[in-house]
Every structure is written in structure tokens, then in C-alpha cells.
């Protein structure tokens, strides 16, 4: 993308990005050695094989599995239950991911860009936000597999713009109670353009420059959108920057 995406353009372009990076991830996972699937993910509770099964379950939630968890602990339990029910079958998991994307491509023209769908944490999302969520899942869990196996995979930072412009809003469901007392803006200066997060007494919204006079203001220059996103909100990197640490502290871990 070159121009700032709108809801209408992200509705279609996001699917194109998901299609490309799902195929990349599928090829990546299929190239792993059989023994890699049993490797534990550093800092996590799953193995590589369980991580792949989790991603299969995430893709299924875009059509056949409509369960959503209101609370964080319920989502953790749902994820673990889904992995146990699916088991570890990389061929089936990757085929499911490809099939789900093909199904979504077949119906996208019948879904208005502004239609809302239920999401975890009591949030609502458009398809554009849903595409951003899938890109984030591929980024974070792809990185889990990288750290376990040493085999490289990532999502280019330029392709995460949809996540930050349309999906970041769902972090509302992960705000800590302490955020009820916070009024501040976070101006995130990504290479693809600026995104502003506004925290206002327990609410979160993605805003524009016109909202920069809201209370306390923080300005972050971000060189690498992928690495930043792995640090916040996905906590796959140790956060050493004091400002990013403050922002991350407003939210529960994903």
C-alpha cells in the first residue's frame, strides 16, 4: 500500500495481504523438519506443533467456529481446548488455513466493508480489522516458531499498516483497570505513516492528528514496524524503551 488505507480499500487489500502471507507461512511450516514440531517455544507453554494447531483454530474462527471469549482467562482456556481437540497435524492445519482464505475470498464481495463481527474481549471488528488480526497472528506465532527452530520468518513492517489502523482498536478489551485513570495520546510514527492511540478513562480509540491535544502526549519514532509490533502488543521482545514500557503497561498481555 502507498496511500493511507481507507476502510473500503483495506477491506479488499487486507485479504490480498492475508492470502500472500498465509501461503508464505504454509510453505514455511511445511519446510520444517519433523523433529521441529516437538520443540518448545521459548517463553511459552506450547510446542511448535501446538502453535501451528492454534493458528489452524484461529482461521477456523473466521467461518465455522463462532465462539468468542469475553474474558482473557476464558480465551486462554479456549485456545488450549482447541489445540487439544485438533491435535497436531501440519498437513491438515496448513490445508485448512489455505481453504479458509479461499472461502473468505469467495464471499468478500457480499460483505459490506463496515459490517461488524463479534471479537474476543467483547469487541466488534470489520473484515479489515480481521485481516489485520490474521497478519498479527502470523507475525507473532511465526516468530514463536523462529525462536524455537532458528528458521527465519516474518511479516514485513509495511504490511502491518492495516493491523495498526483497523485492528488496534480491539486492544480496548485488554486494557488494565488502572487505565480508567489515564488520559493520554500515543503518536506512533511508523515508516508507513502516523497512527495515534488515544487512551481516555478506560477507553481506547485509534485517532488522527486532530486529536493530539488530548491530555498527556507521547511521541514514538518507530523504525521497524515488525519489531515494534512483536514488542507491543505481542510481548515477543523484551521492552527496553521506557516510553514503550509505559504504553505496554496499560494493557494485559495478549
Grade residue 214 by pLDDT with cuts at 50, 70 and 90: low
- Measured CA to CA, the distance from residue 129 to residue 162 in angstroms comes to 7
1 neighbors 13 (Cβ within 8 angstroms): yes
Q: Tens digits of per-residue pLDDT, 187-202?
A: 999 999 999 999 999 9
Residue carrying the nine cell digits 474462527 = 61
Q: What grid cell was written down for 173?
A: 478489551
Averaged pLDDT score across all residues of the chain: 95
32-68 per-position pLDDT tens digit: 998 999 999 999 999 999 999 999 999 999 999 999 9
Cα dist from 101 to 88, 108, 121, 185, whole Å: 20, 10, 24, 35
Q: Across residues 134-140, what is the average pLDDT? A: 98
Alpha carbon 106 to chain centroid, angstroms: 23
pTM comes to 0.96
- What confidence category does residue 211 fall into, taking pLDDT thresholds of 50, 70 and 90? low
Q: What is the pLDDT of residue 10?
A: 98
216-247 tens-digit pLDDT: 889 999 999 999 999 999 999 999 999 999 99
Contacts of 238 (CB under 8 A, 6+ apart): 231
Tell whether the model's pLDDT for residue 1 goes beyond 60: no
Helix (H), strand (E) counts: the chain: 8, 6
Amino acid at each position: 500500500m502507498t496511500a493511507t488505507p481507507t476502510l473500503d480499500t483495506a477491506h479488499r487489500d487486507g485479504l490480498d495481504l492475508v492470502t500472500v502471507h498465509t501461503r508464505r507461512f504454509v510453505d514455511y511450516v511445511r519446510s520444517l523438519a519433523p523433529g521441529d514440531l516437538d520443540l518448545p517455544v521459548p517463553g511459552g507453554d506450547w510446542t511448535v506443533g501446538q502453535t501451528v494447531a492454534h493458528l489452524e483454530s484461529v482461521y477456523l474462527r473466521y467461518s465455522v467456529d463462532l465462539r468468542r471469549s469475553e474474558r482473557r482467562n476464558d480465551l486462554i482456556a479456549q485456545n488450549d481446548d482447541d489445540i487439544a481437540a485438533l491435535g497436531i497435524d501440519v498437513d491438515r492445519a496448513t490445508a485448512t488455513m489455505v481453504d479458509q482464505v479461499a472461502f473468505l475470498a469467495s464471499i468478500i464481495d457480499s460483505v459490506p466493508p463496515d459490517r461488524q463481527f463479534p471479537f474476543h474481549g467483547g469487541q466488534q471488528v470489520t473484515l479489515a480489522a480481521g485481516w489485520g488480526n490474521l497478519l498479527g497472528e502470523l507475525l507473532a506465532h511465526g516468530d514463536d516458531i523462529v525462536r524455537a527452530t532458528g528458521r527465519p520468518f516474518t511479516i514485513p513492517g509495511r504490511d502491518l499498516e492495516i493491523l495498526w489502523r483497523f485492528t488496534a482498536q480491539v486492544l480496548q478489551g485488554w486494557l488494565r483497570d488502572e487505565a480508567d485513570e489515564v488520559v493520554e495520546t500515543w503518536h506512533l510514527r511508523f515508516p508507513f505513516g502516523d497512527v495515534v492511540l488515544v487512551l481516555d478513562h478506560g477507553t481506547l480509540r485509534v485517532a488522527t492528528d486532530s486529536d493530539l491535544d488530548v491530555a498527556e502526549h507521547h511521541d514514538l519514532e518507530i523504525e521497524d514496524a515488525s519489531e515494534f509490533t512483536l514488542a507491543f502488543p505481542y510481548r515477543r521482545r523484551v521492552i527496553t524503551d521506557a516510553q514503550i514500557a509505559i504504553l505496554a503497561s496499560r494493557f494485559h498481555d495478549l
